[in-house]
Structure 1
Amino acid sequence: MTRVFLRPDDVRDLVRDRLGTDRRVTALDRLTGGTCKGVYRTTLDDGTTVVLYVWSAEENYWPASATVPDDPFTEASGAATFATNHAALTAAGVRVPHLIAVEPAGRHLDADVALVEDAGDVTLEALLTRDPHRAAEPLARLGDALRRMHTTLGPRWGRLTDTSPGAPPVRPAEDVVLDRALGHLAGAAARDPRPAAARDRIAAHLRGLRDRVPPRQAYALVHGELGPDHVLVTPGGEPVLIDIEGLTWFDVEWEHAWLRLRFGAAYPALRPVALDADRLEFYRYAQVLALIEGPLRIATGDFPDRRWMLDLAERNIAEALAPL
């Protein structure tokens, strides 16, 4: 598809209504890296900047796929979800970009939008790569924020917009993860001969991991896909969480399986809460399968960094086959 991204004139009325009639947009720069929403740095006539989030089909690079109906990590997007999750993280004492405004599609744009503080463009990932000493403080402070999240408990697992104290019982979270992983395995097998050839063995290994996981009924706030690229660092060394639409009540092991993968050697500095080893390994392996199917699927479309996605899938195919 030919994608049409926003231009300064498209957001003129939004900025005027939300930031004042005397404010004028002088530049609108689309930031790279997003796959589900557009992120734009908006420069105003006084030299200040804000960030605009846009949830629309034009900004979403993901092709449609079969999903597990109760998977809480599927299609988490939109202004209402963002606002709910922003409020929950703020209440838990977790730093996120200050929220200026949210509005649904139809008023100014044909898409849900949010205006937030511009917390800069220095990521924790960049600091860990080029200045590990400077990364030490925000890494430790991120660990503190994660412990606040992971000791904030909810009534059951699921999206914050879907749960309430009077909600009916749901099946175990680990069964949702199993079905989700089997779906990712099927999708990967349809796109690459190696997971296709090993499909039965991978499924058996996955079910064996699931069988070792004991029951649980305690769920905490988890970001869902928190890597160092989803943490901005202010000049004062404060970590700021972004891409928060996937915030969910879930097992903390889901978060830590991802954190271990994404933070690598820096992970111990986060000083994690106590974890169940069997649940952690089950979730880690499920995420490996997701990191095969997802990249292979998005690479079939017009995502601009297709080679990066294919390399990611390649690494995780090796991870999936290793324990067989």
Structure 2
Amino acid sequence: MDGTCHLNQTDLQSYIRDVFGTGYVVANVSRMHGGAQKVVYKIDCSNGFSCVLYVWDLAMSYFQEETARKNPSEQSYGGDLFEINNRYLTQKGIRTPSLYDLNKERIRYTFDYALVEYIEGQKAEDYFRNADSRVQDQVFQRLGEMLAAMHADKRQTFGKPDHSDASTAACQQIQMEDAKEQLSYASRHMESISTNHDKLLDTMHELESKLTPRTEYGFIHGELGPDHVLVNDRLEPCLIDIEGAMFFDIEHEHSFMTFRFGEFYRYLKNDSLDEDRMRFYRFLHHISLTSGGLKLLHRGFPDQTFAIGLAEYHSKCALQFL
């Protein structure tokens, strides 16, 4: 690995040539913002073609400890999951960057990596500030239609699209057990959470007790904020960071989108949602994001102001449930 990319220059050029042909010569490699779990590079070729290199190097993830402990059925990390969900979404007509090649050999490198379509455009969050309301309408209405179609894709069991085994547990129990761990972490590092730990735990159980059994689940992205939607020059939305996509309660997705999209959630709203599940999952999101912000803060995330702001904001939201 050199200073600019996980793959050294020779290996990267060979990879590009093997996938696209001898006419593709790497001219520039630049690191893009890839979030907290994977590393993303833009590859520009001398013939004008550009693509993206995804690298799933667990050593570079800010949540490697959690990823290593998770059951495979609960994972939201790795090239395998990207490949599975990319194929599934593409088959269903849900726009996501095309996967050109996925290398899982782990011979020369210890991590999986892939070449993916580069989409010229902006993230959906940039359209929050667009001065043209007609453009905003077009972008978020299209996104709403895309999500409605995705969430309407139903199955009687929850989980990854390549796993259809019936589970004896209710899907919310998985989220609840994780939230308990996040609450424990946050209570060790934030006084307001520590002081109210037992009340917050009681609230979690109270909200969960109101949920009625369910045997039908929709396909969700899993962490759908406006930073996980790219909009191309034709104002078409495209889902990115899809490793966590799965069949689950769609309220899990909608409760997250209510505060991530703010006033623009009106374009995405679904009138058939279970309000008890919405409240339950929203509370769990606030607990998880409080812990997540603290973990980013403690693990050297570059934007420390963002990390502490995330933890403080969501801790206040969680405490409001009391």
For the criterion TM > 0.5, the same-fold answer is yes
Counterpart in 2 of 1:90?
90
Residue 48 of structure 2 corresponds to 47
The alpha-carbon deviation at position 129 of structure 1 amounts to 2.1
Q: Do the aligned partners of 1:63 and 1:297 also contact (CA within 8 Å) in 2?
A: no
- Could you say which residue in structure 2 is the equivalent of 1:251? 249
Unaligned runs of 5+ in 2: none
- TM-score computed with the length of structure 2 as normaliser: 0.92
**Structure 1 residues 273 and 105, CA, compared in 2 at 3 Å: closer, same or farther?**
farther
Contact 1:14 1:108 in 2 (8 A): no
Using the TM superposition, give the Cα deviation of residue 111 of structure 1 relative to its aligned residue in structure 2, in angstroms: 1.8
Pairing 1:287–2:288 present: no
Contact 1:149 1:221 in 2 (8 A): yes
Structure 1: how far apart are the matches of 2:23 and 2:220? 40
Asked whether the equivalents of residues 36 and 60 of structure 1 are also in contact (C-alpha less than 8 Å), the reply is: yes
- 1:32 equivalent in structure 2: 33
| 1:234 alignment counterpart | 232
Change (3 A) 1:301 1:68: closer
- 2-structure distance, mates of 1:109, 1:44: 23
1:299 and 1:66 mapped to 2: Cα distance? 18
Q: Are 1:22 and 2:23 matched, yes or no?
A: yes
Cα deviation, residue 32, structure 1: 1.6
Aligned residue type for 2:126: A
**1:172-251 equivalence runs, <5 A:** 172-251=170-249
Superposed displacement of residue 132, structure 1: 5.3
Deviates more, 1:56-65 or 1:267-276: 56-65
Q: Distance in 1 between matches of 2:259 and 2:58?
A: 30
Between the two proteins, the alignment pairs up a number of residues equal to 318
Task: Look up the equivalent residue of 1:103 and give its one-letter code.
Answer: N
What TM-score does the superposition give when structure 1 sets the normalisation length? 0.92
Judge which range, 251-260 or 265-274, deviates more: 265-274
Does structure 1 retain, via aligned residues, the 8 Å contact 2:4–2:31? no
Alignment CA distance shift 1:90-1:14 (3 Å): same
Gaps of at least 5 residues in structure 1 are none
Aligned to 1:169: 167
Q: Is the contact between residue 72 and residue 248 of structure 1 (CA under 8 Å) also seen in structure 2? A: no
Alignment partners' CA distance in 2, 1:44 and 1:194: 52
Residue aligning to 1:100: 100
Instruction: In structure 1, give the amino acid aligned to 2:307.
Output: M
Deviations 1:200-257 (A, max 9, x none): 0000111110011111010111000111111111111100110000001100000001
Q: Is the 8 A contact 1:8 1:26 kept in 2?
A: no
Partners of 1:244 and 1:53 in 2: CA distance: 12
String of CA shifts for 1:265-291, please: whole Å, max 9, x gaps.
Answer: 000112425100001100000010000
**Shift in Å, 1:8:** 4.2
